[in-house]
């Protein structure tokens, strides 16, 4: 009896040892094969994104500028399409290849192109290969029929059922109904914020919404078997209403393009703003591009030069420096300045001449602006001295960005005060030795035109939800930006700017209009050549800022054209090249806005 018990205990011990060994072996196998097993499990669990529809962008009149359209793409699962399945019959195998041939015929693809595409696709993208983008309705109808075919072994015929590894993918594709007209402001939307530009980038998250998610359990052919939990719905993006106006944008774009082509210029931009609010009504650049065909454009043509390009502005800064000097009390409005008969030399400041070798004697401040005297402005710089001139630049807004709602705005470029020389004090007042953008210049002119109140330039004025309700007001921010000039100073400068355009010897005569008293200022700046370390005598930036009506300005326009071809013999100055463009834009814009004509008063 004891012997039998001993035998039973031994057998039990051996069984227990074998079980333990088997368990250890299972643990080892699972540990070694865990990544492979998890990969196989994941292969049969599919997460499908529910793409949110991107919000629309409309102009001030409700015209569509950017909208998303639903597109359908045909995709295949490379593994499911070509890899043999377990217990797969030869007929199934043949039917699948017949399906590939039918797909190629339907989509107009060359023979064997789908197989080649599968083999060339990296393994990490092997299970979702797009073979056709944006199929039309006819193709979709035919696809639905083919998509349901399979081989029936009993009848030896193709009967309806879902194919292995083939399907339709849905996506929203961005379209721009106005084409090139708003390419530099609305921009274009990429898959990510970093791949977008313009307002599409600045308001990327707001427009994008939030994608949803749905999980399926699928078989080896990626055919849904059942839904899994954790489903979330997509939230469509919000939409934005702009202050930009398609009609005014067309006025600015057409006038700028004609002028740049006539003068064979390298580039140019035009900005139209409401000086009372800072609302940008138009912003055009030359050259432009097609936002729906980026591959056909040069990167330089996609740059919004009005906010990204720093340049030495030349004489357009003279009224602003003078406004600052008068407002700070450095010079009185009745001050007379000796302009040295056209030639001024000061030790430490070098030699300064007037544009086109003009010779002026004693000039009051207004005449310095009307005649655009470099020497008169240089002497104002000497009166202000380094610290005072730097404070003047800060007051104007030439030391910080405008915070316009566009990406890529450059900060003004001004050397640190401790690196200023006598040249700095005498050159900055007529627009050399500083780098600023067009939008920064126009912001300062808006302050002069509206009585001294600084504004923030803006393009978008409201956000609306999917039900059409306004959920956020954007745009003007009057509480944040206070006054930078007194009304008395602004009135004084405005009188001088009206003289620039309407007086007999003013440099801006080409911008004068019959129905309105235009105010403005020319600017002709030599372009600095870093290769030689000197200013070029061949290449210039021709600018003009102008606005109207004089008493209650409704629009202020800046046009700046880079490198007009001087060899054409038609001129290269701001008064010759850019002033007529401002006149055309103002004339069309004021008529479009139904602004009543004002009687021209003699100055």
Q: Where are the domains of the chain?
A: 71-168, 246-592
- Burial class for 60, CB neighbours closer than 10 Å (0-12, 13-18, 19+): middle
- Per-residue pLDDT, 1: 53
* 39, pLDDT greater than 90: no
* Band of pLDDT at residue 140, cut at 50, 70 and 90: confident
- Burial class for 386, CB neighbours closer than 10 Å (0-12, 13-18, 19+): middle
- Per-residue pLDDT, 599: 58
d(CA 568, CA 405): 38
Lowest mean pLDDT among 47-56, 322-331, 381-390, 523-532: 47-56
DSSP letters, 65-97, are EEEEEEEEEEEE-HHHHHSPPTT--HHHHHHHH
Contacts of 545 (CB under 8 A, 6+ apart): 316, 441, 442, 445, 520, 521, 523, 556, 557, 558, 582
- Per-residue pLDDT, 373: 95
Position of tokens 């994608």? 211
Q: Nearest CA to 256 among 568, 557, 458?
A: 557
The larger pLDDT score, comparing residue 470 to residue 184, is at 184
* 301, pLDDT greater than 50: yes
Phi, psi of 587 (to 5 degrees): -60, -50
The larger pLDDT score, comparing residue 9 to residue 522, is at 522
Mean pLDDT over each residue of the chain, to the nearest integer: 86
Radius of gyration of the chain (CA): 35
* 93, pLDDT greater than 80: no
Peptide bond into 287 cis (omega under 30): yes
- Per-residue pLDDT, 131: 78
- Per-residue pLDDT, 245: 98
Provide the percentage of residues in the chain whose pLDDT is more than 90: 61
* 8, pLDDT greater than 60: yes
Percentages helix, strand, coil for the chain (3-state, rounded to 5) are: 40, 25, 35
- Express each pLDDT in 195-211 by its tens digit: 999 999 999 999 998 88
Report the first-to-last Cα separation within the chain, whole angstroms.
Answer: 135
Contacts of 477 (CB under 8 A, 6+ apart): 456
- Per-residue pLDDT, 84: 54
Q: What average pLDDT score do residues 540-568 get? A: 97
d(CA 319, CA 339): 17
Q: What average pLDDT score do residues 211-222 get? A: 68
- Express each pLDDT in 97-130 by its tens digit: 777 777 777 788 887 777 777 777 776 666 678 8
Q: What average pLDDT score do residues 278-307 get? A: 95
* 157, pLDDT greater than 50: no
Homologous superfamily (CATH) for 246-592? DD-peptidase/beta-lactamase superfamily (3.40.710.10)
- Per-residue pLDDT, 191: 87
């Amino acid at each position: 009896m004891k012997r039998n018990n001993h035998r039973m205990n031994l057998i039990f011990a051996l069984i227990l040892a074998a079980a333990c060994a088997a368990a250890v072996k299972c643990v080892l196998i699972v540990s070694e094969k865990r990544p492979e097993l998890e990969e196989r499990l994941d292969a049969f669990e599919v997460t499908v994104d529910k793409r949110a529809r991107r919000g629309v962008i409309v102009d001030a009149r409700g015209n569509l500028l950017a909208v998303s359209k639903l597109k359908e793409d045909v995709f295949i699962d490379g593994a499911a399409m070509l890899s043999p399945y377990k217990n797969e019959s030869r007929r199934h195998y043949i039917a699948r290849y017949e399906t590939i041939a039918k797909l190629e015929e339907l989509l107009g693809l060359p023979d064997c192109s789908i197989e080649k595409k599968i083999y060339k696709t990296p393994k990490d993208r092997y299970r979702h290969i797009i073979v056709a983008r944006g199929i039309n309705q006819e193709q979709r109808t035919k696809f639905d029929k083919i998509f349901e075919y399979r081989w029936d072994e009993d009848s030896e015929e193709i009967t309806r059922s879902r194919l292995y590894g083939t399907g339709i993918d849905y996506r929203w594709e961005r379209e721009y109904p106005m084409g090139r007209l708003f390419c530099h402001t609305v921009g274009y939307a990429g898959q990510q914020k970093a791949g977008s530009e313009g307002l599409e980038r600045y308001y990327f998250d707001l427009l994008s919404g939030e994608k949803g998610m749905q999980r399926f359990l699928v078989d080896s052919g990626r055919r849904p078997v059942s839904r899994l939990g954790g489903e979330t719905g997509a939230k469509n993006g919000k939409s934005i209403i702009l202050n930009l106006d398609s009609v005014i944008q067309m006025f600015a774009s057409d006038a700028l393009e004609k002028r740049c082509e006539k003068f064979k210029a390298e580039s140019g931009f035009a900005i139209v703003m409401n000086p009372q609010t800072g609302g940008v009504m138009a912003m055009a650049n030359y050259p432009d591009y097609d936002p729906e065909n980026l591959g056909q454009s040069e990167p330089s043509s996609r740059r919004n030069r009005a906010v990204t390009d720093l340049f030495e502005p030349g004489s357009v800064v003279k009224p602003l420096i003078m406004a600052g000097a008068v407002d700070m009390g450095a010079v009185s409005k009745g001050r007379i300045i000796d302009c040295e008969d056209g030639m001024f030399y000061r030790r430490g400041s070098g030699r300064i001449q007037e544009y086109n070798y003009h010779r002026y004697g004693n000039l009051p401040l207004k005449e310095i602006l009307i005649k655009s005297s470099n020497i008169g402005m240089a002497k104002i710089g000497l009166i202000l001295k380094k610290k005072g001139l730097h404070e003047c630049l800060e007051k104007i807004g030439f030391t910080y960005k405008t915070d316009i709602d566009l990406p890529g705005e450059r900060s003004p470029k001004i050397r640190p005060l401790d690196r200023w020389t006598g040249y700095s004090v005498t050159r900055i007042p007529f627009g050399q030795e500083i780098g600023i953008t067009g939008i920064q210049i126009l912001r300062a002119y808006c302050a002069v035109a509206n009585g001294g109140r600084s504004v923030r330039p803006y393009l978008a004025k409201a956000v609306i939800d999917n039900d059409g309700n306004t959920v956020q007001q954007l745009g003007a921010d009057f509480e944040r930006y206070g006054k930078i000039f007194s009304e008395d100073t602004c009135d004084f400068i405005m009188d001088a700017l009206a003289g620039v355009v309407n007086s007999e010897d003013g440099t801006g005569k080409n911008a004068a209009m019959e129905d309105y008293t235009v105010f403005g200022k020319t600017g002709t700046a030599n372009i600095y050549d870093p290769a030689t370390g000197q200013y070029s005598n061949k290449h210039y930036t021709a600018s003009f800022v102008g606005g109207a009506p004089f008493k209650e300005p409704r629009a202020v326009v800046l046009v700046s054209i880079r490198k007009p071809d001087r060899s054409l013999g038609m001129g290269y100055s701001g008064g010759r090249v850019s002033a007529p463009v401002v006149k055309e834009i103002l004339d069309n814009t004021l008529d479009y806005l139904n602004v009543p004509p004002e009687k021209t008063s003699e100055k």
